[in-house]
């Protein structure tokens, strides 16, 4: 199959329109059969639930070309299940998990010419989303919904690829206790834009958000979970009810234990402990694992001994093993690789 003429090595994390996408409508209490379509623009009521009250959610996953030339996706069942949990919290109809996988296969197959070649450094980012498309005017769930899935080839999420990032502790909160921090609702991202703008204006790549109740515990950034490495080589990640349960983070903790034979801890991480860690990274589908060099706090700046030039050794091993599994160089745990 002939690939599109794209400069794969210089792609950023940006939207590029591809040939076709999947759409299904929920009306009168059920989903229709769904179809692949060419039209990228969406036409909905001016009073749609998504436009008036932000009733929308999304997922993000990637397709890769493996070393031996197959196209694969990574744990898509986890994205389907997380979207189901998100829709329940937002009072939206769930899109059945098996239909999510069917749509994914259709979207990737139809856009195979956009799946970056092995070794190019780029991947195909797939964006499933579900929103209230029927009219509301009182605050209420929408009477109709649309599920869509498109894809776009992407390069690294952070400019500069793997150069360690500088972060700041945000003065703003991302998620309230008992709020929506644990689901992938669009509203979580709308309210993080201003905090992100402030971080960028101050010269930082991202915010570290703290727990909204006490402002003492590490939560996550606007789009990724944290992973820390202690000086004695343990891999530690914050446990919190108000962060998104990252599929990358859950996978990395398993990789740390089963492939690298490291001790792991998922527990509350006080900000006051962070200066004692040897390495820090951000993990997520878009971020993969992006190393962190420094974190500016109200009291000063924490810097990690792994330095400002490259990833620390444990984060590097986690990165190499995870991407090795995704690209087919390293045998994957049962069920992690879904061949298209």
Q: Considering CB under 6 A, how many residues would be counted as binding ligand COI?
A: 5
Would you say 120 or 152 has its CB closer to ligand COI? 152
- Residue 160 Cβ vs ligand COI, minimum distance, rounded to whole Å: 17
Would you say 224 or 278 has its CB closer to ligand PLP? 224
216 within 8 A of 210, measured Cβ to Cβ: yes
Q: Tokens in use for 219?
A: 């939560």
Q: How many Å apart are CA 88 and CA 85, to the nearest integer?
A: 5
3-state secondary structure of 146: strand
Site string for ligand COI, 99-138 (x = CB under 6 A): ----------------------------------------
Q: Tokens in use for 150?
A: 């498109």
> Residue 111 class from Cβ within 10 Å (0-12 exposed, 13-18 middle, 19+ buried)?
buried
Q: Does 60 bind ligand COI (CB under 6 A)?
A: yes
- The DSSP code for 325 is H
158 within 8 A of 222, measured Cβ to Cβ: no
> Residue 37 class from Cβ within 10 Å (0-12 exposed, 13-18 middle, 19+ buried)?
exposed
Would you say 52 or 264 has its CB closer to ligand PLP? 264
- Residue 62 Cβ vs ligand PLP, minimum distance, rounded to whole Å: 9
Q: Which does 54 bind (CB under 5 to 8 A by kind): ligand PLP, ligand COI, none?
A: none
Q: Which does 23 bind (CB under 5 to 8 A by kind): ligand PLP, ligand COI, none?
A: none
For residue 134, which phi and psi values (nearest 5 degrees)? -90, 160
Percent of the chain that is helix, strand, coil (3-state, to 5) = 25, 30, 45
Would you say 62 or 296 has its CB closer to ligand COI? 62
Q: Which does 247 bind (CB under 5 to 8 A by kind): ligand PLP, ligand COI, none?
A: ligand PLP
CA distances from 29 to 55, 71, 278 (A): 17, 35, 53
Site string for ligand COI, 275-304 (x = CB under 6 A): ---------xxx------------------
- Residue 191 Cβ vs ligand PLP, minimum distance, rounded to whole Å: 12
Would you say 104 or 302 has its CB closer to ligand COI? 104
Q: Which residue is nearest to ligand COI (CB)?
A: 60
- Residue 28 Cβ vs ligand PLP, minimum distance, rounded to whole Å: 32
Residue 201 annotated in active site: no
Max CA pair span of the chain: 58
Would you say 43 or 178 has its CB closer to ligand PLP? 178
Q: Does 223 bind ligand COI (CB under 6 A)?
A: yes
269 within 8 A of 217, measured Cβ to Cβ: yes
- Residue 203 Cβ vs ligand PLP, minimum distance, rounded to whole Å: 22
Catalytic residue among 3, 184, 234, 241: 184
Q: Which residue is nearest to ligand PLP (CB)?
A: 284
| Number of C-beta neighbours around residue 236 at 10 A | 23
Q: Which does 220 bind (CB under 5 to 8 A by kind): ligand PLP, ligand COI, none?
A: ligand PLP
Residues 6+ apart with CB under 8 A from 141: 49, 55, 91, 92, 132
Q: Which helix (H) or strand (E) holds 83?
A: helix 76-89
Q: How many Å apart are CA 312 and CA 228, to the nearest integer?
A: 11
Would you say 122 or 286 has its CB closer to ligand COI? 286
Binding site for ligand PLP (CB under 6 A): 60, 220, 223-225, 244, 246-249, 284-285
- What positions carry a catalytic annotation? 184
* Interface residues toward ligand COI, by CB under 6 A: 60, 223, 284-286
């Amino acid at each position: 199959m002939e690939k599109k003429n794209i400069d794969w090595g210089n792609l950023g994390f940006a939207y590029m329109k591809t040939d076709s996408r999947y759409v299904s409508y929920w009306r009168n209490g059920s989903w229709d059969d769904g179809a692949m379509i060419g039209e990228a623009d969406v036409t909905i009521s001016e009073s749609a639930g998504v436009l008036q009250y932000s009733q929308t959610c999304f997922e993000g996953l990637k397709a890769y070309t493996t070393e031996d030339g197959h196209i694969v996706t990574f744990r898509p069942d986890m994205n389907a299940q997380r979207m189901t949990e998100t829709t329940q919290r937002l009072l939206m109809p769930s899109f059945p998990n098996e239909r999510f996988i069917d749509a994914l296969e259709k979207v990737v197959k139809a856009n195979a010419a956009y799946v970056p070649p092995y070794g190019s450094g780029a991947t195909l980012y797939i964006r499933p989303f579900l929103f209230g498309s029927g009219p509301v005017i009182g605050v209420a769930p929408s009477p109709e919904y649309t599920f869509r899935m498109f894809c776009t080839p992407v390069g690294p999420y952070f400019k500069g690829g793997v150069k360690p990032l500088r972060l700041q502790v945000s003065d703003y909160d991302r998620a309230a206790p008992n709020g929506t921090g644990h689901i992938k609702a669009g509203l979580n991202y709308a309210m993080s834009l201003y905090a992100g703008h402030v971080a960028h204006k101050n010269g930082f790549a991202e915010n570290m958000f703290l727990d909204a109740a006490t402002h003492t515990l590490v939560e996550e950034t606007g789009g990724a979970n944290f992973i820390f490495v202690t000086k004695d080589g343990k891999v530690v990640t914050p446990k919190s009810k108000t962060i998104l349960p990252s599929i990358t983070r859950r996978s990395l903790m398993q990789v740390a234990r089963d492939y690298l034979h490291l001790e792991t801890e998922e527990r509350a991480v006080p900000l006051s402990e962070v200066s004692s860690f040897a390495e820090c990274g951000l993990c997520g589908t878009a971020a993969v694992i992006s190393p962190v060099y420094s974190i500016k706090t109200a009291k000063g700046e924490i810097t990690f001994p792994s330095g400002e030039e490259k990833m620390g050794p444990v984060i590097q091993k986690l990165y190499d093993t995870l991407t090795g599994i995704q690209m087919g160089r390293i045998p994957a745990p049962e069920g992690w690789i879904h061949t298209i």
